Amino acid sequence: MLHKSYWWSAAVLLTLACPVWAGTFGNVVAIGGQSSDIALDESRGVLYIANFTANRIDVMSLSDYTIQTSINVAPQPSSLSLSPDSRFLVITHFGNNAPPTPSNNALTVIDLTTNGKQTFALGNPPLGVAFGIDGRALVVTTNDYLLFDPVLGTTQEIDTISGVVAKTLPVPPANFPSQITTASMTASGDGLTIFGMGGSTSAFTFVYDVTRQTLLPGGIVTSNGALGPKVISANQDGSVYLAGWAMVDAKGITSYFPQNTNQFNVGTTVFDSSRGLIYSQIPKKAGEAPVLTVSDADNLTVRWRLQLPENTAGKSVLSSDSNTMYSVSDSGVMVLPVGSLANVPRITASVEDVIFRGNFCDRSVTTQQLTITDPGGGNTPFTISSATAGISVSPASGVTPATVNVSVDPNAFQGQSGTSVGMLTLTSTKAVNIPSQVRVLVNSKSPEQRGTIVDVPGMLTDVMADPQRSRFYVIRQDKNQVLVYDGTNYTQIAALRTGNMPQSMAITFDRRYLLVGNAAAQYVNVYDLETLQPLDPIRLPTGHIALSVAASANAILAATQFFDGTHHLVRLDLNSRTGTMPATLGVFTNTTDANVALAASPNGSSILVVEGDGSVMLYDAVQDTFTVSRKDFTALSGAYAASAFGQYLAGNNLLNASLVPVQTLESSSGASSGFAFVDQAAFRTTVPVVSSTSASSSSGTGTSSGSSSSSTSSSTSTPSPTSSTSTGPSPAAGIVQHLDLTNISGSITRATRMAEASLVGTTGISTNSPFSRTLA
C-alpha cells in the first residue's frame, strides 16, 4: 500500500456542457484534459471520467451533464471500472516512464461508500481493467493478467500475455510480441464474461470466463495489422463482441466494417441489445467529418448516419434504459440521447429513385412529385438541388413535410438512347442525419428498343434465375438483402436478410437452397427456397470471405479472400455447415487472382473459374477434382458462363470442354456484360463504351457522388430480366444478341438494342470486380 486518503476534499471543477451545434447529434462536455476511460454509476447519478493528463477522476452529473467534482489520484489514470455492487471504483495508472524517471505503475481502489482510497504499486504497466459479476476485477498489464480483489486488496496472476497468445489455433507467428502496449476491456451486460483486445503493431483478443476463472484467446490474432478504433464492446449476454472494426462470436470473426482507417484514437462502438442495434464511429478515411452510424447488430446494415459535433475517442457506455450513450471524445465526454432519436430533426425523401420514361414523340417537360419529410414528424428546414442539366426541382427549399416537383427536359438528353442518371442532393441546417441522395433516371428509349425497365434502387451485385420456380433473385448489397421477384410480372415478393455486403449467389444442384456469399462476413448464408426462410449459415475458415459461390452436383465451391490479401478456393459442406480450404486443386496450387468468379454448369457437371489475370480453371464434378488450368489471355473481364454441353464463356471468348479458346466473339457492339447458355444457343449482352463525362454514370464506373443505385431492365429477347450490377446504367442503349452456337458469326445480324444497358463489372461498397453476371 502506497497511501490512503479521503477524496471529498478534492478541488471542484465546474465545466458546463457545450450546447448542441445545429445539425449535429449529441452534447459535448469538456473536461480540460484528455479522457482515457469512463464508468457509469447510475445509483449515484454520475459518470466517472479518467482524466489522463490532469491526474484526476472527473465526476459528471447525469442530470445536467456538468462536472460536479473531481478526485485527485496518482498520475496518468488510464482506465477504470465500477464493481457490480457500485461500491468500488478501480483505476489503473500507466506510469511506464522512460529512465531516469522512475516508473509509477499503480492501481487505485476507491471505496465509494466510505470515500476511502488505496493505491497499490504494480510491477508492470497496467493497460486495462474490468469487473466481473463476482466482484473481482481483471487487470491487464503489458505482460500478464491479474485478478484483483478490492475487498482484500490482493492480486493474483492468472496467466501471461505470451501464454494466452500461445493457446491460439492456428499458432500465431513466432515474432508475435510477448508484450502489448495498448489494450481495451469491457464486460458483457450480464457480467459473466470479460472481453479484451491488446496489441502494438499486432493485435489479439482474449476472453475471460468469470464463473470458471479461465482465460482464453478471443478469436483474433494478427501479426501484420491493427484493429482500430482501440475499443472493445459486447452485447448483453456476451455471445457477440466488437473488437475495433471486427465482430466476433464463439467461433471467430463473423462480420466486420469493411471501410476503416485503423486509427486507435478516433471512433467508438457500443451495443444496444434492447433494440438490436450498434452505435459506432469507425472512420472510412482519415480526417473525415465525425459521423455516428446506427447499424443492425446482426449484419451491420446501416440505418442512420448522424453528424457528430466532434470525434469520439474511446469507450462508450449505455444507460440501463438504453436511452443515453456516453462516449469518450476529443474534449472529454459526449452525451448522445439515442433513445430520443425518433424526435431529433432529420430529413428523408419518400423514394430512392424517380424514373422518367421518355416518349419518343413528346419532347415536352415532364414533372413528378417527391415528398420530403422528417421521420419524427417535425418541421425541419431543407434544401434540394440538382447538378444535372435538364433536371430541375421546385421549390428548391422548404420545411418538412413538403412536396417538391422534379422536372425533366427530355431535350437535354436527346443524344442519349439509354438511361441517364442525375442526382438530387438534400441538405439541412437543422437535421442531424446525412440524407441519402435521390437518383433521377431518365430513359430515352426509341421505338425499336426492346425490354421493360423494372427499377430496383440500391447497389446491385448479382442476379440469378431460379431453374425450378418462376422467380429470380437480385442482391442489393447496400441493404444486405436478396430481393425475390416473381418472374411472371417482375414484382418483388420477398426480401431475405443476408450477412454484411452480400456479393454473389448460387443455387444448390437439388434446387432446394440458395447460397449467398458476403464480402464482409465470414460465412455463407443458406435459405430454403420452398419457404424462403433462413437456415444456419456455412462458416468459412477463419479469416476468409466469399466473393463468388457456385454449386455442382458434387462440390460447392467459394472463391475467397484471406485476411492477408491472398485468394483461394474453399469447399463448402452443406451438411456440417463448414468450409475447408484444400491444400491443392488437384495438381494445381490453391491460389487465384484477386479478381475471380465462379459459374456452375446447369447439369452440375462442372464449375468454371475465371480470373482477372487471364487464367481459367475447370472443376470436374465426376472426377471431383480440377482437371484444367490454362492462361491463354493477358486479362479477362465482363461476362462468364458455363453450359451443360462442355462449352464455356470468359469475357468475349468461347471455350471448349478443355477450356481451349475456339471462338472470339465480336467486340464492335461494346464491352462484354452478360451471357447465358440456353441448350445449344445463348443470349449475350454488350454495352457501348461511352465517355465518363456523360450526363449519367458510364458503364462500370459508378457515380462519383456516392449514390449507389441500379435499375433492372428485362428484354423480350431474353428468358429472364437483365440486372445491372454496378452503380448506374449507361446512357447508351445496350445490345442483346441471340447466338446460334453452331453459326456464331451470323448471330450479330440478329442483335437488338435494349431499352437500357446492363453494366460491365461489379461495383460494391468496398469490393469491385471486372466480372459481371447481368443476364439470367
- pLDDT, tens only, 97-155: 776 777 789 999 999 999 999 999 998 889 899 999 999 999 999 889 999 999 999 99
H helix runs in 448-604, sequence order: none
Query: What cell was used for 40?
Result: 457509469
H helix runs in 431-499, sequence order: none
- Average pLDDT of the chain? 88
What's at 565, amino acid-wise? G
Contact partners, residue 99, CB within 8 Å, separation at least 6:
none
Architecture of the domain spanning 1-14+29-123: 7 Propeller (2.130)
Beta strands in 409-553 (DSSP E): 419-427, 438-443, 452-456, 460-465, 471-476, 481-486, 492-497, 502-507, 513-518, 523-528, 533-539, 544-551
- The pLDDT of residue 607 is 99
- Taking 60 as the threshold, does the pLDDT of residue 407 lie above it? yes
- The pLDDT of residue 104 is 86
Cα gap 596→602, rounded to integer Å: 20
- The pLDDT of residue 749 is 54
Per the listing, cell 459442406 goes with 573
What mean pLDDT is predicted for residues 228-237?
94
The reported pTM is 0.89
Rounded to 5°, the CA angle 610-612-618 comes to 20
- Taking 90 as the threshold, does the pLDDT of residue 555 lie above it? yes
CATH fold, domain 348-443, is: Immunoglobulin-like (2.60.40)
Per the listing, cell 422534379 goes with 406
Query: What cell was used for 563?
Result: 485476411
How many helices (H) and strands (E) the chain has is answered by 1, 69
Q: Which of 559, 670, 577, 540 is nearest to 616 (CA)?
A: 559
Query: What cell was used for 604?
Result: 452440375
Instruction: Outline which parts of the chain fall under CATH 2.130.10.10.
Output: 1-14+29-123, 452-769
- Taking 80 as the threshold, does the pLDDT of residue 539 lie above it? yes
H or E element, residue 48: strand 46-51
Cα gap 501→459, rounded to integer Å: 10
Q: Is 177 exposed, middle or buried (0-12, 13-18, 19+ CB in 10 A)?
A: middle
Using one digit for the tens of pLDDT, what is the confidence trace for 332-361? 999 999 999 999 999 999 999 999 997 777
Cα gap 736→743, rounded to integer Å: 17
**Alpha-carbon radius of gyration of the chain:** 29
Instruction: Outline which parts of the chain fall under CATH 2.60.40.10.
Output: 348-443
Peptide bond into 170 cis (omega under 30): yes
For residue 392, what pLDDT band results from cuts at 50, 70 and 90?
Answer: very high
Using one digit for the tens of pLDDT, what is the confidence trace for 288-315? 999 999 999 999 999 999 999 999 999 9
Q: Answer for the pair 68, 59: CB distance below 8 angstroms, yes or no.
A: yes
Q: Which of 446, 448, 451, 419 is nearest to 355 (CA)?
A: 419
Cα gap 287→304, rounded to integer Å: 20
SS3 149: strand
Query: Dihedrals φ, ψ of 548, to 5°?
Result: -155, 145
- Taking 80 as the threshold, does the pLDDT of residue 493 lie above it? yes
- Taking 60 as the threshold, does the pLDDT of residue 713 lie above it? no
The superfamily in CATH containing domain 452-769 is: YVTN repeat-like/Quinoprotein amine dehydrogenase (2.130.10.10)
Query: Strand order in 302-307's β-sheet?
Result: 268-272, 277-281, 291-296, 302-307
For residue 636, what pLDDT band results from cuts at 50, 70 and 90?
Answer: very high
SS3 750: helix
Cα gap 282→712, rounded to integer Å: 33
What's the number of CA atoms in the CB half-sphere (13 Å) around residue 490? 17
DSSP assignment of 668-715 equals: TT-EEEEEEEETTEEEEEEE----TTSSSPPTTT--TTS---EEEEE-
- Give 17's DSSP letter: P
Report CA dihedral (388, 394, 396, 399) to the nearest 10 degrees.
Answer: -140
For residue 702, what pLDDT band results from cuts at 50, 70 and 90?
Answer: very low
- Tell me the CA distances in angstroms from 501 to 240, 258, 462, one per residue in order: 19, 9, 12
For residue 719, what pLDDT band results from cuts at 50, 70 and 90?
Answer: very low
What's the number of CA atoms in the CB half-sphere (13 Å) around residue 711? 30
Peptide bond into 258 cis (omega under 30): no
- Give 622's DSSP letter: T
Handedness of CA 723, 725, 727, 729 (dihedral sign): negative
